[in-house]
Amino acid sequence: MNDFDFYAQGAQALCDRGVKELPHAYIQPEHERPSPASLVRGKHMPVIDLSRFHGDGRDQAMEELRFACESWGFFHLINHGFPESCMKAMLEVGRQFFELPAEVKMQFFQKKGTGRRTRYGLSFNTEDNRVSDWRDFLSQPCHPLSDEIISTWPHVPVHYREIAKEYAKNVRALALRLLALLSESLGLRESFLDEAFKGHHQLMVINHYPPCPQPDLTLGVTGHTDPYGFTIVQHDDVPGLEVMKDGSWYAVKSIPNAFVINIGDQMEILSNGRYKSIEHRAVVNSEKTRFSIVSFYGPSHDAIIAPAGELIRQKPDQSADYGEILFEDYLREFFSRGLDSKFYINSVKIEK
Ligand SMILES: O=C(O)CCC(=O)C(=O)O
Ligand SMILES: [Fe+2]
């Protein structure tokens, strides 16, 4: 199959052709399909106000952060100081990228990736998914931010590189603040996670979910946990993210100008399971295109990740619940599967 055959079977191309029935490849098994009847809408995940870490409310804010990471693995972040103009510009230029002709986008097409190279992708893992996801995406490395890396990013739309560079720098600044706060919230020295992440890695993924003819049969992104340290997500105003909590799917509401932050697998390992990397997924709808800009922040590929010694020693039996891994190996394994092969983190848990 040539690359354009893949494109023709992707969500965008099917949507543009006005397909009324989903191809078989997109139909999820019944137990994985969206479940509007049992979806929890009333209770909302924690909101963390970053400005409270400066003043009198700091201890309380730290307690709320700890609670959010332990019980939800997800929170909204408000008053984060990230320039709103940059958030809007990134969303706009991302939207414009997906409006480009297929020939231009396909210059970046790869069936598989490990987050090291700029990649335009369909579904998740074009050849290996058992069920395809109703999305196409652009993913690009953002740290270390060299001219060489930037030269691999799309050169169209005109201001794409300039805006994405600004966005990447702002994400990194926010990520470094979060790293220090997350370390402190675990009772570790402020620089602990910064050092554990070694050279650091940052990857931005723009998810594009076109309107779908049969949204009740498929998913935008199959349920998964994120493989990096933590994730900084910007949504547009179309809902779609769902988070698994206590056996039910929770619909995440959109708070204007806020980010959604979630704990990824490496933070779960480093915290020896105190902070949870929680399953989440994206559903689609028949009316509106939805975008999310997802910045994964985590260790450099050569970092060795293991539970923090201090946290192990605090446990009554003083034992680690996760083995040690080279992050590069972890990512290779993660990306060589389909998202529907379920959680790779389980394979590094130590059976007791
Ligand atoms: O679109 C979303 O809200 C979530 C996407 C996601 O979970 C991911 O890209 O890892
Ligand atoms: Fe995710």
Q: What's the first-to-final CA gap in the chain, in angstroms?
A: 46
Q: Whose CA is nearest to atom 1 of ligand 1?
A: 292
Q: What is the pLDDT of residue 343?
A: 79
Q: What is the pLDDT of residue 126?
A: 63
Cβ proximity of 161 and 147 under 8 Å: no
Q: How far is the CA of 162 from the centre of ligand 2 (A)?
A: 26
- Closest ligand 1 atom to residue 220 Cα is 1
Q: What is the pLDDT of residue 194?
A: 98
What's the DSSP call for residue 315?
A: S
**pLDDT digit string (tens) for 227-265?**
999 999 999 999 999 999 999 999 999 899 999 999 999
Q: What is the pLDDT of residue 112?
A: 79
Phi first, then psi: give them for residue 344, nearest 5 degrees: -70, -30
User: Cβ neighbours of residue 319 under 8 Å, at least 6 residues apart?
Assistant: 312, 350, 352
Q: How far is the CA of 29 from the centre of ligand 1 (A)?
A: 20
Phi-psi region of 18 (alpha: psi -120 to 50; beta: other; left: phi over 0): left
Q: What is the pLDDT of residue 339?
A: 66
Mutation test of ligand 1: which of 294, 297, 335, 340 has the most ligand atoms closer than 8 Å to its C-beta? 294
- In sequence order, what DSSP letters do the residues of 193-205 get, joined into one string? HHHHTTT-EEEEE
Residue ranges of domains in the chain, CATH in brackets: 3-348 (2.60.120.330)
Q: How far is the CA of 295 from the centre of ligand 1 (A)?
A: 10
Q: Whose CA is nearest to atom 8 of ligand 1?
A: 294
- Write out residues in the chain with pLDDT < 70, as ranges: 42, 125-129, 338-342
Q: What is the pLDDT of residue 338?
A: 66
Q: How far is the CA of 226 from the centre of ligand 1 (A)?
A: 9
Q: Is the ipTM reported for this complex over the cut 0.90?
A: yes
Q: How distant is the alpha carbon of residue 223 from its chain centre?
A: 12
Cβ proximity of 339 and 137 under 8 Å: no
Q: How distant is the alpha carbon of residue 145 from its chain centre?
A: 19
- In sequence order, what DSSP letters do the residues of 288-306 get, joined into one string? --EEEEEEEEE--TT-EE-
Q: How far is the CA of 249 from the centre of ligand 1 (A)?
A: 15
Nearest CA-CA partner of 208 in 287, 126, 91, 112: 91
Residues with CB under 6 A from ligand 1: 205, 207, 221, 226, 233, 240-241, 280, 282, 292, 294
